[in-house]
A and B are shown apart, each in its own frame.
Chain A
Amino acid sequence: DAGVIQSPRHEVTEMGQEVTLRCKPISGHDYLFWYRQTMMRGLELLIYFNNNVPIDDSGMPEDRFSAKMPNASFSTLKIQPSEPRDSAVYFCASSLLSTSGALGFGPGTRLTVL
């Protein structure tokens, strides 16, 4: 079975530009999570979806961040405008069951904002 797929794997952009990160969860999984990892703060949950509906976006740092899940097989995380402090690795994860299933993580997108 294919795991969680993320694209791009690396993104380098300039401050002020729009960045869009993409995720394809494992087929059949009904929960999707976006995490951000930095050396200073470790892994932080940004937002998660259940059956394509955003459930908790309290981890989204600012209004510059937005996430969508138009269907069960695709999600995006957008940053507009991007800032250097947004530089991090962004992970997408999905799970099959609501609270008992294991989370599978994608390989991450390494974002560098110059």
Chain B
Amino acid sequence: KQEVTQIPAALSVPEGENLVLNCSFTDSAIYNLQWFRQDPGKGLTSLLLIQSSQREQTSGRLNASLDKSSGRSTLYIAASQPGDSATYLCAVRDDYKLSFGAGTTVTVRA
């Protein structure tokens, strides 16, 4: 069974600092990995999707890398802003379903 771990569970940084969020998974036979953002009491917003054949994906200030062989992905958020405060979840897709990590709750202090 796929196990997805996100460390740290919570992170607090001053505005402007770069964020580094980590995700690890136990079974490297994945199809893709997806990063989501969840605001309190809200649904999940997809941020980036990385296919298993890719090494990274970028969207604006966000960059996600994937090292499938070591079972790791990292989400980088450059020049953090208070609006980046949220919980970030990574999910790996093996077979047809997504397995989620518990998330990293980020607070960006103004």
- Which A residues have a C-beta under 8 Å from some C-beta of B? 31, 33, 42-43, 45, 48, 50, 55-56, 91, 93, 98-100, 102-108, 110
Known contacts being A99-B32, A100-B51, is A105 close to B97, with CB within 8 Å? Answer: no
Residue from B41, B42, B93 within 8 A of A99 (CB atoms): B93
Q: Would you call the interface of chain A mostly helix, strand, loop, or mixed?
A: strand
B108 at interface (Cβ–Cβ under 8 A)?
no
Query: Is the interface on chain B under 10, 10 to 19, 20 to 34, or 35 or more residues?
Result: 20 to 34
A45, A50, A55, A105 — most chain B CB neighbours (10 Å)? A105
Contact B100–A42 (Cβ < 8 Å): yes
11 new A-B pairs (CB below 8 Å) besides A93-B98, A105-B44?
A31-B96, A33-B98, A42-B100, A45-B97, A99-B32, A100-B31, A102-B49, A103-B34, A103-B98, A104-B46, A107-B43
Q: Using Cβ atoms and an 8 Å threshold, which residues of chain B touch A103? A: 34, 46, 91, 93, 98
